Amino acid sequence: MEDKGGEKARKAQETAQRIVARPVAPGVLKLGIPLGLAMALQPTFDLIDMLIVSDLPDGKEAVAALAICDLVARVPTILANGISIGIELMGVAGAAWSTIGSRCSSSRPSSPATSPP
């Protein structure tokens, strides 16, 4: 029975091979289109919030409070996204680089000085 570390390394190796073997563009589009839509819709929601809040009796103060709250609410989201991307890249990138390195070293001809007799 394989230990958990070996199983995790095997899965990372399979993921890296799958990433290296497939074209990049479909994956980027699959991930990028929803992110782009979310990034475009968030300011729209903020503007609508500001229009609604500005009609309140203390509109200037309410809009200022809303702007501060929007910024404060975005900081944890940005940090969480950065941390999750970093963790993902650390796990997959190591396996991907080892896969690329093994492909490069296997395609490189051995020199007479280092080849076995």
Judge whether residue 69 has pLDDT over 80: yes
Q: What is the DSSP letter of 56?
A: S
Q: Could you tell me if residue 80 is inside a domain?
A: yes
- Top pLDDT among 110 and 47 is at 47
Residue 83 has pLDDT above 60, yes or no: yes
Is residue 18 in some structural domain?
Answer: no
User: Which residues constitute the domain of residue 31?
Assistant: 23-102
For residues 53 and 93, which has the higher predicted lDDT (pLDDT)?
53
> Would the pTM count as exceeding 0.85?
no
Q: Is residue 109 part of a domain?
A: no
How many domains does one find in the chain?
A: 1
Is residue 76 included in any domain, yes or no?
yes
**Confidence at 95, pLDDT banded by 50, 70, 90:** low
Structural domain contains residue 15: no
> Please, what's the b/e burial string for 10-39 (b: 16 or more CB within 10 A of its CB; e: otherwise)?
eebbeebbeeeeeeeeeeeeeeeeeeeeee
Q: Does residue 7 lie within any of the structural domains?
A: no
98 vs 37, more confident: 37
Q: Which residues contact residue 78 at a Cβ distance below 8 angstroms, ignoring those fewer than 6 apart?
A: none
The answer to the question of residue 13 being in a domain is: no
